[in-house]
């Protein structure tokens, strides 16, 4: 994120954070009600935790994006299949709370990629967060890995059962360096992270409904030992 | 009027925030009908003939004003009270609100369940509230 844009990004970030913070406050107020059943109490407490984690991810992404302007992120060979499985395991509770399943598509071979583990994780988690936030009819989120070109592996997050991609998000992709809209800041940051790994994000809407957000990551030239 | 049929439409694209609003509506003795978009709201309005609308401003594909503009063009719906629950309440001028039938704007950052209930009760005729 360049310095000139920083104050604008700050305003966009403040706006983006307002939604999870407002929701957390409302959930906390609901929890004050003595008449709640134990099940309701557990449900609201879980939502409170998951919403706070979404807000924290955003703040963490913002600090990383700011840091990315002045420092280099070390790249390393990564097995994309194991990487995606780890993410799916980690975000299964969030998806379940939103009524969706998350899984990794079967793949015969998955060439090693060269990326920064932390940034790649942030990009994919942003795709998951955005899908869950903006499309509540999603039933399945599928992480899939494919080789889009000789030198590039595409890792995508495909929504099943959802609506077509909202226009205001598709406007941010694939040229995620335009401007950060009042929503979709996560995608804007994902674009920043991708650039720091010589990767590129994009999206495509599917005729049968739903859409895929993807990142094209360079293939590692090293032999995969992982 | 049969009180059990009095409904409120809640238009909010975040399902968990929508549920928060639905709880407040039900505590007023109204039937809560939650939808995520203005388009779904049109069908819900036709189906339930609501007595009041609670809505967020920034929705998935559009803003609430697209729907409110449509409602203003129908004689039977133009007087339907609308309460906005928004994170950008400070940016909504009074004259714009009046033009679209908005009777009250609640700030999502400061509103409370009791505050939401009080707002609903302020703008409904007494016989509608259970």
Taking an 8 Å cut-off on Cβ atoms, the answer to whether A166 and B14 are in contact is no
Task: For residue A57, give the nearest of A103, A106, A90, A98 by alpha carbon.
Answer: A90
Interface size between A and B, measured as CB pairs under 8 A:
46
Number of domains in chain A: 2
Taking an 8 Å cut-off on Cβ atoms, the answer to whether A22 and B109 are in contact is yes
State the SS3 of B12-74. Answer: CCCHHHHHHHHHHHHHCCCEEEEECCHHHHHHHHHHHCCCEEEECCECCCCEHHHHHHHHHCC
CA-based nearest distance B46→chain A, Å: 22
Q: How many CA atoms lie within 13 A of A60 on its CB side?
A: 13
Which pLDDT does position A42 carry in this prediction?
95
Which pLDDT does position B8 carry in this prediction?
96
Mean pLDDT per block of 10 residues along chain A (226 residues) reads 58 81 95 94 95 89 72 84 94 90 89 92 91 80 88 92 51 36 65 88 85 92 60
Taking an 8 Å cut-off on Cβ atoms, the answer to whether B17 and A98 are in contact is no
A45/A112 same-domain check: no
The phi-psi region of residue A37 (left if phi > 0; otherwise alpha if psi is between -120 and 50; otherwise beta) is: beta
Kindly calculate the radius of gyration of chain A based on its CA atoms and give it in whole angstroms.
18
What is the DSSP pairing of strand A140-149 with strand A76-78?
Answer: unpaired
**Closest residue in chain B to residue A43, using alpha carbons only:** B16
Which residues contact residue A165 at a Cβ distance below 8 angstroms, ignoring those fewer than 6 apart? A203, A205, A211
Which pLDDT does position A2 carry in this prediction?
53
- Which of A13, A42, A68 terminates a domain? The answer is A68
CA-based nearest distance B42→chain A, Å: 18
State the burial class of residue A34 (Cβ atoms within 10 Å of its Cβ: 0-12, 13-18, 19+).
exposed
Is residue A223 domain-resident? no
Taking an 8 Å cut-off on Cβ atoms, the answer to whether B20 and A27 are in contact is yes
**Closest residue in chain A to residue B20, using alpha carbons only:** A26
Order of strands across the sheet that contains B7-11: B31-35, B7-11, B52-55, B82-86, B102-107
Taking an 8 Å cut-off on Cβ atoms, the answer to whether B17 and A33 are in contact is no
**Closest residue in chain A to residue B17, using alpha carbons only:** A23
Q: How far is CA A160 from CA A28, A99, A128, A163, in A?
A: 32, 12, 12, 9
- Which of A68, A84, A114 terminates a domain? The answer is A68
**A23 CB near a chain B CB, below 8 Å?**
yes
A131/A195 same-domain check: yes
Is residue A172 domain-resident? yes
Q: Domain range for residue A8?
A: 3-68
Is residue A20 domain-resident? yes
Taking an 8 Å cut-off on Cβ atoms, the answer to whether B14 and A47 are in contact is no
A10/A85 same-domain check: no
Which pLDDT does position A175 carry in this prediction?
35
A57/A96 same-domain check: no
A36/A103 same-domain check: no
A89/A59 same-domain check: no
Q: Using CA atoms, how far apart are residues A199 and B17, in angstroms rounded to an integer?
A: 35
Taking an 8 Å cut-off on Cβ atoms, the answer to whether A166 and B61 are in contact is yes
A109/A194 same-domain check: yes
A117/A34 same-domain check: no
Taking an 8 Å cut-off on Cβ atoms, the answer to whether B113 and A182 are in contact is no
Task: Name the residue facing A136 among B23, B36, B87 (closest C-beta).
Answer: B36
A212/A124 same-domain check: yes
Beta-carbon neighbour count of residue A163 at 10 Å?
19
A95/A63 same-domain check: no
What is the DSSP pairing of strand A113-115 with strand A76-78?
Answer: antiparallel
- DSSP, collapsed to helix, strand or coil, labels residue A154 as strand
- Which of A68, A88, A120 terminates a domain? The answer is A68
Which pLDDT does position A174 carry in this prediction?
41
CA-based nearest distance A3→chain B, Å: 26
Taking an 8 Å cut-off on Cβ atoms, the answer to whether B17 and A23 are in contact is yes
Alpha helix locations (H) across chain A?
Answer: 6-31, 38-68, 80-97, 117-134, 167-170, 185-195
Residues 167-196 of A with CB under 8 A from B: 167-168, 182-183
Taking an 8 Å cut-off on Cβ atoms, the answer to whether B113 and A33 are in contact is yes
**Closest residue in chain B to residue A16, using alpha carbons only:** B87
A81/A106 same-domain check: yes
For residues A198-212, one letter each, b for 16 or more C-beta atoms within 10 angstroms of the residue's C-beta and e for the rest, the string is ebbbbbeeeeeebbb
Backbone phi and psi for residue A154, each to the nearest 5 degrees, phi listed first: -100, 125
Q: Are A177 and A201 in contact, with CB atoms under 8 Å apart?
A: no
Q: What is the pLDDT along chain B (130 residues), one digit of tens a residue?
A: 444 569 999 999 899 999 999 999 999 999 999 999 898 999 999 999 999 999 999 887 778 999 999 999 998 899 999 999 988 877 788 888 888 999 999 999 899 999 999 999 999 876 566 5
Is residue A206 domain-resident? yes
Task: Name the residue facing B60 among A47, A51, A134 (closest C-beta).
Answer: A134
Is residue A8 domain-resident? yes
Q: Would you report the helix, strand and coil content of chain A in percent, each value rounded to 5?
A: 50, 20, 30
Is residue A209 domain-resident? yes
The model's pLDDT over B31-49, given as tens digits with 9 standing for 90+, comes to 999 999 898 999 999 999 9
State both tokens at A198: 């010589």
Is residue A150 domain-resident? yes
A102/A189 same-domain check: yes
Which pLDDT does position A46 carry in this prediction?
95
Beta-carbon neighbour count of residue A6 at 10 Å?
14
Task: Name the residue facing A26 among B15, B20, B61 (closest C-beta).
Answer: B20
Is residue A53 domain-resident? yes
Taking an 8 Å cut-off on Cβ atoms, the answer to whether A183 and B58 are in contact is yes
Q: Which domains does chain B have, with CATH numbers?
A: 3-122 (3.40.50.2300)
């Amino acid at each position: 994120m360049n310095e000139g844009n920083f104050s604008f990004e700050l305003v966009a970030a403040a706006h983006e954070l307002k939604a999870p913070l407002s929701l957390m406050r409302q959930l906390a107020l609901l929890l004050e009600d003595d008449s709640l059943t134990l099940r309701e109490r557990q449900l609201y407490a879980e939502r409170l935790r998951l919403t706070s984690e979404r807000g924290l991810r955003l703040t963490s992404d913002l600090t990383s994006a700011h840091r990315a302007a002045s420092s280099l992120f070390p790249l390393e060979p990564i097995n994309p299949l194991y990487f995606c499985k780890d993410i799916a395991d980690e975000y299964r509770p969030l998806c379940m709370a939103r009524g969706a399943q998350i899984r990794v598509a079967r793949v015969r071979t998955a060439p090693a990629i060269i990326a920064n583990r932390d940034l790649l994780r942030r990009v994919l988690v942003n795709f998951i967060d955005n899908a869950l936030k903006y499309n509540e009819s999603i039933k399945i989120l599928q992480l899939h890995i494919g080789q889009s070109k000789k030198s590039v592996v595409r890792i995508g997050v495909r929504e099943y059962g959802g609506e077509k991609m909202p226009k205001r998000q598709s406007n941010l992709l694939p040229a995620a360096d335009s401007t950060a809209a009042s929503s979709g800041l996560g995608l804007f940051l994902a674009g920043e992270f991708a650039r720091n790994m010589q990767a590129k994000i994009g999206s495509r809407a599917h005729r049968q409904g739903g859409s895929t957000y993807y990142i094209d990551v360079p293939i590692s030239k090293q032999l995969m030992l992982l | 009027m049969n009180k059990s049929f009095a409904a409120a439409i809640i238009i909010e694209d975040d399902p968990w925030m929508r549920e928060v609003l639905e709880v407040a509506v039900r505590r007023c003795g109204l039937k809560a009908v939650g939808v995520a978009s203005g388009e779904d709201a049109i069908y819900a309005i036709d189906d339930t003939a609501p007595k009041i609308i609670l809505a967020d401003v920034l929705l998935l594909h559009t803003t609430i004003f697209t729907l409110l503009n449509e409602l203003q063009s129908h004689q039977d719906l133009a007087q339907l009270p609308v309460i906005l629950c928004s994170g950008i309440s400070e940016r909504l001028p009074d004259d714009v609100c009046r033009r679209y039938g908005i009777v009250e704007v609640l700030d999502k950052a400061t509103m409370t369940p009791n505050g939401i209930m009080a707002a609903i009760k302020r703008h409904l005729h007494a016989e509608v509230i259970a």
